[in-house]
Amino acid sequence: MRQEMELIQRQRVRSLIGKVLLIRTQHKRKWIWEKIKSSHWWDNVVPTFDDDRWLEHFRMRKGTFDFICRRVEVILSPCPTPVIPNRKLPVSKIVAVALFKVAHVAEYKVVRNLFGVHKSTVHNCLYSFCLALTHLFEEEYISMPFEEKACEIANYFGCKTNIPLVTPS
């Protein structure tokens, strides 16, 4: 009698384990980077923009956008992401993501939804674009003032804000 009870219990446990395994194999797990994202806005709507719409959405005209893309292409040329080696973002999309994020001070998820990328990709685009800009345009467009000009700026700022002793080091 006792052996029969143990046999019935083993059969129930095996049956339960079988059901659990069946459920696990039927439930297909989707990872976050596998989820389908829509880049309809970037792929289909943005190409129809005229210069005024470009100015509204990216705070620059299409010609300026193309100029920046050509200049930063050397640094931002498509390369595989560490997670998915076959995925490559074009330079124009990297620049557009970064410019849209900065132009609208939008949350990462808003930019993510418009461009069909992940939130971390938005961050990576912004970071790499800023590094590329400072590297390429630093000598041409960004200049540090000499000491006399720095003192003049500090004095002006001190008078304007009533915060004294803001001087260059």
Condensed to tens digits (0 to 9), the pLDDT of residues 18-35 reads 665 555 555 555 555 556
Contact 69, 30 (CB under 8 A): no
Average pLDDT, the chain: 80
pLDDT of residue 36: 66
pLDDT of residue 18: 60
Which stretches of the chain drop beneath a pLDDT of 70? 1-2, 13, 15-36, 78-87, 165-169
Domains of the chain: 38-144 (1.10.472)
pLDDT of residue 50: 93
Q: Which residues contact 30 (CB under 8 A, 6 or more apart)?
A: none
Q: Which residues contact 67 (CB under 8 A, 6 or more apart)?
A: none
pLDDT of residue 49: 93
Contact 125, 89 (CB under 8 A): yes
Contact 79, 73 (CB under 8 A): no
Distances (CA, A) of 17 to 7, 13, 20, 24, 28: 15, 6, 5, 11, 18
How big is the CA angle at 92 (ends 89 and 94), to the nearest 5 degrees? Answer: 55
